[in-house]
Amino acid sequence: MFPAAERQAVHALRVQWRAYALTDLHGDVLDVGAGEGASLGALPHDARVTCLEPNARSVRRLRALTADRPGARVLPAPVEDIPLADASMDAVICSAVLCSASDQDQALRELHRVLRPGGRLVMLEHVAAERGTWMRRGQRLIAPASRWLDRGCDPARDTEAAVQRSAFTVIELRRIAARGPFGLDLPHLHAVLARRPSLNQ
């Protein structure tokens, strides 16, 4: 179980999560929405990482960061349409991505498609607060501005529901409150998901 403490700062939570979730990912690893390359330093040196990133400026930075990493490549594409073969990845990293996906269900179908049977998807997403809370109402209120200012990020996305209805098997699922601006508790979702092994294996 991810041993995160409640109410630590968002940045500290993400650093701790990467140290917990990424250091034992080996083989072909897909980093979805790789952004500024924060996950690269936590991955083992033998991991052959593919960075998926739709933002052109981030793509240029990622190409520079991965230039000396054996087997690394950068794909400029969105999570809803991943240019990879079926069952080609041993593991997938998904961190602060699904909040901005145009279609969360399609994104999760694509992640399931490219993952090999028995492979894992590790996830840390900021998510919608519980229904009926003032935080959920606040998230919905600021969502239009957030989508415009932060690459489509919608803080009111019900990512947990999308995960639960996906084809993945849930291995680990935990909601965590992280301390954000003005001391607000921002809800996050940590998950470890798996694609069921093939019956032919």
Answer yes or no: are the C-beta atoms of 68 and 95 closer than 8 Å.
no
Q: Is residue 16 part of a domain?
A: yes
pLDDT digits (tens, 9 = 90+) for 139-177: 677 666 666 666 657 777 899 999 999 999 999 999 998
pLDDT digits (tens, 9 = 90+) for 116-127: 999 999 999 989
Q: Is residue 18 part of a domain?
A: yes
Question: Mean pLDDT across the stretch 54-60?
Answer: 95
Q: Is residue 43 part of a domain?
A: yes
Q: Is residue 200 part of a domain?
A: no
The pLDDT of residue 72 is 96
Under the phi-then-psi rule, with left for phi > 0, alpha for psi from -120 to 50, and beta for the rest, what region is 27? left
Q: What pTM was estimated for this model as a whole?
A: 0.91
pLDDT digits (tens, 9 = 90+) for 90-120: 999 999 999 889 999 999 999 999 999 999 9
Question: Mean pLDDT across the stretch 76-84?
Answer: 97
- The boundaries of the domain holding residue 113 are 10-194
- Terminal Cα distance for the chain, rounded: 28
Domains identified in the chain, total number: 1
Which of 66, 192, 187, 48 has the alpha carbon at shortest distance from 128? 187
The pLDDT of residue 201 is 46
Q: Is residue 125 part of a domain?
A: yes
Q: Is residue 22 part of a domain?
A: yes
In percent, the amount of the chain with pLDDT more than 70 equals: 92
Return the CATH number at 185: 3.40.50.150
Mean pLDDT of the chain: 90
The pLDDT of residue 1 is 79
